[in-house]
Structure 1
Amino acid sequence: MSMDLESKVDLEETSFDSSETYQPTEGEEFMNPRQLAYFRKKLVAWKDDILRESKETLEALQEESQNHPDIADRASSESDRALELRTRDRQRKLISKIDAALARVDDGSYGYCEVTGEPIGLARLDARPIATMSLEAQEKHERREKVYRDD
């Protein structure tokens, strides 16, 4: 499912006006250039939002490096800081998944289940654009994971 250079250029040129309310539909050819452009735009916007929020968090943490005289205030501040850093770490990991999804858009494998090779539903991709498995494959994976998980 490799995408040739010409198709890649076409994909980059295929776009839609942001005021246009394009929504991929099941009646279209699956992962046509318009759908790929839609998901690329969605992934890039998501990544940009995460990076912007991370930058804002770093700026806020640098500004709030003050010592609180009250021990309760200090504990609350440290707890808030730890929570924010954990959230940012999760988002950092999410960025790598977004980058992987963008690479799949480029190589033509985006939208297809990595287990079965079948198309992932458009509704699932719209809700979770980094999805790599169809709903059925994901559920099977989670059931198997639950069986083998050590509690």
Structure 2
Amino acid sequence: MTKTTKKPVNVPANYEPSDDEEFMNPVQKEYFRQKLLAWKADIVAETRNTVEYLRGENVSHPDPADTAAANADRQLELRTKDRLRKLTNKIEKALRRIENGTYGICEETGDPIELRRLDARPIATLSLEAQEMHERGERLRAG
């Protein structure tokens, strides 16, 4: 049994996905894959910095106000780290969607998500219209 290997796809310098080309062609997929991987690498580096900061932070200060401020800073860092962890999970899911061929397809409508939306938010799973309907529904339930 032979194992098939994917032929590497080169993304031209200064490439921007265009509506004039086939949706989610190999170059677009590679463009978004690279964008997601770079974003993930930035998050990993930021998380590493946060962990190093938290390890070096001494929250025991002689002044109770200083201790309270340090604890508040620590809580903020922990919340930020949790948000970054959740974002990393969304990036991983987007990368899996690229691999299985469902990236860029709205989970609600099955229609393609606009390239501009994906470029701005590469983890998007809903088209702009579906996202707006979703948000209107949330406002109605909350109101």
Same fold (TM over 0.5): yes
Alpha carbon RMSD of aligned pairs, Å? 1.6
Partner of 1:14: 9
Partner of 2:86: 93
Count of residue pairs the alignment pairs up: 141
Query: Alignment partner for residue 36 of structure 1, among 25, 29, 37?
Result: 29
Give, in whole Å, the separation in 2 of the partners of 1:87 and 1:66: 18
Cα deviation code 1:31-56 (max 9, x no counterpart): 11001000000111111111111111
Matched, 1:58 2:37: no
Superposed displacement of residue 15, structure 1: 2.6
Q: What amino acid is the match of 2:88?
A: I
| DSSP-derived class of the 1:9 partner | coil
Q: Contact 2:59 / 2:71 at 8 angstroms: preserved in 1?
A: no
| DSSP-derived class of the 2:6 partner | helix
Give, in whole Å, the separation in 1 of the partners of 2:59 and 2:71: 11
Gaps of 5+ in 2: none
1:59-138 maps to which residues of 2 (within 5 A)? 59-138=52-131
**Identical amino acids, percent of aligned pairs:** 54
TM-score, with structure 1 as normaliser: 0.87
If asked which structure has higher relative contact order (CA below 8 Å, sep 6+), I would say 1
Superposed displacement of residue 70, structure 1: 1.5
TM-score, with structure 2 as normaliser: 0.92
Give, in whole Å, the separation in 1 of the partners of 2:95 and 2:135: 25
Superposed displacement of residue 66, structure 1: 5.0
